[in-house]
Amino acid sequence: MEIIDNSKLEFGSNRVKELQVFDDTKLGVQGLVDAGVEKIPKLFIRSPDELAEESDHPRAQVEFPVIDLNGLLTDRRRKIIDQVRSASEEWGFFQVVNHGIPPSVLSKMRQAVRKFNEQEIDVKKQFYSRDTARRVRFNSNYDLYQSQRADWRDTLSVSMLRSDHVDPKELPSICRDEAMEFIDQIGKIGETIFELLSEALGLKPDYLKSIECNKGRTLVCHYYPACPEPELAMGVTKHTDNTFLTILTEDQTGGLQVLHDNQWADVQPIAGSLVVNIGDLLQIISNDKFKSNVHRVLPSPEPRISVIGFFAGRVAPPARLYGPIKELLSEENPPKFREVLVSEYVGRFFTKGLHEKPSVNDYRL
């Protein structure tokens, strides 16, 4: 098995060279683990300032919103919509149970992501790329060369920003069937969530779908290898999502945290559940009613897997401008944002580090 020579990753202040050495291996963070690394390279270590920030946001002991979708077609629907509204306004996050996706579909997808990342290196390398024009690509840290430091994770992604059609032959054979089923199922539950969000805004159930918020999807499969010094690293840097909606399944390792009332709240994994969060673009079109909230992922001594469906809205031509929904506006609630093209917002995301990605505040009037 080919492994990374960790000694080559220590180049003093020459960070760019360190990054290039790491990137050129095409082995990702898992390559470091395969090499038996006991100390993480400094390109992954959080700065003293970042570590000091931990005291600014203590851990919160709060109850994370969990919404049972059982009974959507009964008189329980109104209660569910109220819960979705409350969670979207106060947290920007919630978990859903009894959502209709068989638990086996979720567990098989996570297992397939593990198999992809732990398979023979030569196969995995074929998908390693930083070319955003490639629909299917594997790499470590999309923002490796723009970030302040690297996050401890590897990622396989499938872009459906310009077309929902996915040719199964483009996908790695080791996770092909599972990914196709997951893409189908996450699309269906996404439409259901968009209906609930539409009604929570006081709109017709199909409103958000009618303006194509459910388009522009991306499948992202994060694999966080076991970290020998998790207290020094980060799995995903704190950020908000540059989308309308995010839906994910995670294993039981934990590590996802949401910033709530200036405290980090742990999202406790619930078997078979999905985590849903509001993205920047939904905050913009809801005119600040729904909240795109800051979140992050902590690394762990054990491997962690999450599989995510992002819904970014219409990217493919003809272009669509998204701004505050007119039906929500009034003299008392004037528009707070200017209109934005999804292609512009997403495009800016890929040219920045995650720590400095576009913000809703960039579009405030």
Interval 246-281: pLDDT, tens: 999 999 999 999 999 999 999 999 999 999 999 999
**Alpha-carbon Rg of the chain, whole angstroms?**
20
pLDDT confidence of residue 13 = 52
pLDDT of residue 105: 97
Place of tokens 């200036």: 262
Looking at CATH, the fold of the domain delimited by 9-363 is given as Jelly Rolls (2.60.120)
pLDDT, position 29: 97
Give the predicted TM-score (pTM) of the model.
0.94
Burial class of residue 278 (count of CB atoms within 10 Å of its CB; 0-12, 13-18, 19+) = buried
CB atoms within 10 A of CB 94: 23
Contact between 153 and 141 (Cβ < 8 Å): yes
Q: How far apart are CA 121 and CA 115, in angstroms?
A: 11
Identify the pLDDT of residue 42: 92
- pLDDT of amino acid 8: 47
For the chain, residues with pLDDT lower than 70 are: 1-13
Nearest Cα neighbor of 218 from 179, 255, 177 is 179
